[in-house]
Amino acid sequence: MHKLTLLDADAPNSGGGMNQVSDEDKKAVDQLREQYSGMRAEMAKIIIGQDKVVEQMLICILSRGHSLLMGVPGLAKTLMVNSLSKIMSLQFSRVQFTPDLMPSDITGTEILQEGEKGRREFEFVKGPIFANIVLADEINRTPPKTQSALLEAMQEHRVTTGGVHRDLPQPFFVLATQNPIEQEGTYPLPEAQLDRFMFLINVDYPSVEEERRIARETTGTHSADLQEVIDGPTLQTYQSLVERVPVPDHVYDDVVDMVRLTRPKAEDAPEWIQKWVTWGSGPRAVQYLVRGAKAHAVLHGRYVVGWEDVEAVAHSVLSHRILTNFQAQSEGVDSSFVIDKLLENIADKEAAMATQ
């Protein structure tokens, strides 16, 4: 398992608008790119296909974000999350969300214990939230009261029980799964909680060739052993590296412009946004687009963010932050179509500026 030491996160190079990259950070980006290849190779031992999903999960983790995986049963969502924790040498915890699950079943509870001298006192017993990677399986199966137990953990990386704040282990990520087709007995996630997820990752069916490989390679006696590629401290160092990746000012401007265009009540909102969109994205979308673009850039060996990096994460960041209305649905328009038009809008603007 490879370890490395990068520049301090507070180094002068950390300025977001600066396009200068130190030699040390360039070397670190190259090392991360190499280890990214190693992580993908290890994941390929267990997961056949789903390369884009694996990349999006890694981008999210490098950006200190949380992911919501949307897909029908049987697509190895749980196995992907568990395998990822193993190759990163992170503590893994799984919570099966059910209608009778209580908040204390996630965060932990105070239990009355008898001490050595017979004195009784409360002792806190940690819940499954106290892990590096927490899999919230079928998160929409539990009522909003229990879903909300994750809010503080996802935002503040701590939980509060009995009036006491308890810090969670670092690094900390919530990777939740949701079944999009079976909605009976489910509780839709509130918008406030959906917004806490950096990415909504759609897990689709494998291709024909991938499914044939699944048939051949996963139905015998062979089982692959996953090797640790990085560990928690190294991951945190990479996260600091991602934060220092410079972003050109025009990319910042285009990200802000695109997010603002999603809001139908904005003065400069296009007619088609006003027609199809009920609610647009907030400032957190701007933050996540930039962070995700930085992680995408370094995973592909680039030292400065380009617009292609923003395009690569746009659907995952914005799809659950754009609420389309009934008219859009009646015309077959969904949030993905709206995002495509937004990206085209920015491309047209850049082309027009280039010709001036």
Residue 219 has what pLDDT? 79
Residue 320 has what pLDDT? 92
**H-helix or E-strand spanning residue 29:** helix 23-46
Residue 61 has what pLDDT? 93
Closest CA to 200 of 314, 279, 96, 298: 314
φ/ψ of 96, rounded to 5, equals -90, 110
Residue 182 has what pLDDT? 62
For β-strands 133-137 and 92-96, DSSP reports them as parallel
Question: Residue 3's pLDDT band (boundaries 50, 70, 90)?
Answer: very low
- 114: DSSP letter: E
Q: Between 354 and 144, where is the model more confident?
A: 144
Q: What span, in angstroms and rounded, lies between the C-alpha atoms of 335 and 339?
A: 6
- Which string of DSSP letters, residue by residue, matches 254-266? HHHHHHHHT-TTS
Question: Residue 184's pLDDT band (boundaries 50, 70, 90)?
Answer: low
Residue 242 has what pLDDT? 94
Q: What span, in angstroms and rounded, lies between the C-alpha atoms of 260 and 352?
A: 19
Closest CA to 239 of 294, 278, 196, 202: 294
User: Which of 51-60, 144-153, 290-299 bottoms out in mean pLDDT, i.e. has the lowest?
Assistant: 144-153
Residue 185 has what pLDDT? 62
Where are the domains positioned within the chain? 19-229, 245-356
Closest CA to 299 of 30, 119, 77, 27: 30
Residue 326 has what pLDDT? 93
Statement: residue 27 has pLDDT above 60: yes
- How many CA atoms within 13 Å lie on the side-chain side of 236? 10
Residue 16 has what pLDDT? 41
Q: What span, in angstroms and rounded, lies between the C-alpha atoms of 281 and 258?
A: 10
Query: Would you state the structure tokens that stand for residue 190, as one six-digit string?
Result: 């509130």
- 135: DSSP letter: E
φ/ψ of 241, rounded to 5, equals -60, -45
**What are 225-249's pLDDT values in tens digits?**
888 888 889 999 999 999 999 999 9
Look up residue 130 and give its amino acid.
F
User: Which of 90-99, 176-185, 254-263 bottoms out in mean pLDDT, i.e. has the lowest?
Assistant: 176-185
Statement: residue 88 has pLDDT above 60: yes
Contacts 24+ apart (CB under 8 A), 156-165: 159/107, 159/108, 159/127, 159/129, 161/104, 161/107, 161/108, 161/109, 161/110, 161/124, 162/110, 162/122, 162/124, 164/124
What's the topology of domain 19-229?
Rossmann fold (3.40.50)
**Is the separation of the CB atoms in 138 and 97 below 8 Å?**
yes
CATH number listed for the domain at residues 245-356:
1.10.8.80
Q: Are both 19-229 and 245-356 of the same fold?
A: no
Three-state secondary structure of 284-341: HHHHHHHHHHHHHHHHCCCCCCCHHHHHHHHHHHHCCCCEECHHHHHCCCCHHHHHHH
**Is the separation of the CB atoms in 346 and 354 below 8 Å?**
no
Statement: residue 330 has pLDDT above 50: yes
Closest CA to 51 of 273, 209, 248, 181: 209
Residue 343 has what pLDDT? 93
**Is the separation of the CB atoms in 235 and 173 below 8 Å?**
no
Statement: residue 5 has pLDDT above 70: no
**Is the separation of the CB atoms in 237 and 6 below 8 Å?**
yes
Q: Between 351 and 343, where is the model more confident?
A: 343
- pLDDT (average), residues 36-54: 87
User: Which of 6-15, 143-152, 267-276, 334-343 bottoms out in mean pLDDT, i.e. has the lowest?
Assistant: 6-15
Question: For the chain, what is the radius of gyration of the CA atoms?
Answer: 22
- pLDDT (average), residues 59-78: 88
Highest averaged pLDDT of the listed ranges 137-146, 212-221, 345-354: 137-146
Query: Would you state the structure tokens that stand for residue 177, as one six-digit string?
Result: 């799964």
* Cβ partners under 8 Å of residue 213, min gap 6: 48, 49
- pLDDT (average), residues 142-169: 85
